[in-house]
Amino acid sequence: MTDQEEQQIIKELSDQKPPRQRRWFFGAWISLLIAALVVVGFSLIYKTGFTFSQIQVEKQPAGLLPISEGTPGPDSDRLNILLLGLRGESDPNGGLLTDSIMILSLKKSTNQVAIISIPRDLYVAMPGEDYKEKINFAYALGYEKRGDAGALLYSKTAVSKATGLYIDHAVSVDHIAFKEVIDALGGIDIYLEKPFIENQQWVAGGDIGSPSGFFYIESENATSSAGAVKKQRWVFKIPAGASHLDGDAALYYVRARYSSSDFDRVRRQQQVLLAMKEKALSLNFLTNPVKIYNVLDSLGKNIRTDASMSEIRNLIALIPQISDQNIIHKVFDTTPEGLLYSSKSSAGAYILLPVSDNFEKIQETCKNIFN
């Protein structure tokens, strides 16, 4: 073999080495990637199962109540989910009163969706009791009687009797979960035709840890016998147009009611609920295991539901099919079409009662909301 032939063979061998190395490294990376996906997958399955064991409570039949409540039976073409928002058990100032009460109703044959808001001051008979209270008290009463399962059962029963709808499932969410889910989504986007201002509810600043960036301090001069005194108060303001809200800002927005009304607040709650849905879909959040994993700890501690895991999966699968243009919004209020009027209880508390002092028109509206 000549020197020239030997050099040619060496050159060919050296030319072959890098591709082999590249193929080896590529194969190694693929193996590592597959291993990582397997680990993440099993971790997510474990974490999801553990979280579900925390949030899921056993569905309680209405027959467990001390008396028969006579609630309506299931509708094969309707799926009604009760959504409850509360401050949380750790809040000593009425933390188990449900400040937000909404029914998400789906007509299966047409994929139509309705969001029906029930005002928290609606005066109803308490399940299993011989007295009336505001409907937002049903959760606290049920919790006192039977814990988390009783809280959902009593709320479902009270709402079902008022609306005439069978409630298939219930979900309760406290403020911590609400904030953390929105932050996990990277915030939400809303659009306002005019500025929203709350200048009475948080005059000394925010009450959920730290003021939102939508707060500013307003100064005003007041005169007393001691002379001129400068006063300051915190004002929460979201300008007209498009705004991006983090979890804190969204929570203040849906809680504010002193400068507007409880009815306006429930409309804002519906607006934020839809904004969360749109953001989750735009990020493919519902199919992203990393994003889901990041919120599971919060969900486990701050959400309760009587739906099974398979039922939750089915509900999540329905979300992309819901179009905002096909959603029907209904808020029961004191307008002529709202079917309620304001009054006082025997103890002097502000309450809302149905027109004609019965729930027939409200029940008819809920039953025929898709017609």
Query: Are 125 and 68 within one domain?
Result: yes
Q: pLDDT by residue (tens digit) across 246-278? A: 999 999 999 998 988 888 998 999 899 889 988
Cβ count near 173 (within 10 Å) = 21
Torsion of CA 226, 230, 236, 238, to 10 degrees: 140
What does the pLDDT average to over 120-137?
Answer: 95
122-150: buried (b, 16+ CB within 10 Å) or exposed (e) per residue?
Answer: bbbbbbbeeeebbbbbbbbbbbebbebbb
Query: Are 198 and 299 within one domain?
Result: no
Q: What is the mean pLDDT of the chain?
A: 82
In the chain the first and final C-alpha atoms are separated, in Å, by: 94
CB contact at 8 A, 185 and 192? no
Residue 68 DSSP SS3: coil
User: Between these two residues, 363 and 298, which has the higher pLDDT value?
Assistant: 363
User: Between these two residues, 16 and 135, which has the higher pLDDT value?
Assistant: 135
Query: Are 176 and 323 within one domain?
Result: yes
Query: Which domain CATH number covers 101?
Result: 3.40.630.190
Query: Within a domain: residue 345?
Result: yes
pLDDT at 217: 87
Domain ranges, residue 114: 62-185+283-367
pTM of full prediction above 0.85: no
Confidence of residue 69 (pLDDT cuts 50, 70, 90): low
pLDDT at 5: 52
User: Between these two residues, 237 and 17, which has the higher pLDDT value?
Assistant: 237
Question: CA gyration radius for the chain?
Answer: 27
For the chain, what is the domain count? 2
Confidence of residue 301 (pLDDT cuts 50, 70, 90): confident
pLDDT exceeds 90 at position 31: no
Q: Of all residues in the chain, what percent carry a pLDDT higher than 70? A: 75
What does the pLDDT average to over 89-114?
Answer: 88
pLDDT exceeds 70 at position 58: yes
Query: Are 171 and 316 within one domain?
Result: yes
User: Between these two residues, 147 and 325, which has the higher pLDDT value?
Assistant: 147
Q: pLDDT by residue (tens digit) across 188-237? A: 999 999 999 999 998 877 776 667 889 988 887 666 666 666 677 889 99
Query: Are 75 and 179 within one domain?
Result: yes
pLDDT at 41: 45
Query: Are 87 and 172 within one domain?
Result: yes
Q: pLDDT by residue (tens digit) across 168-194? A: 999 999 988 888 889 988 999 999 999
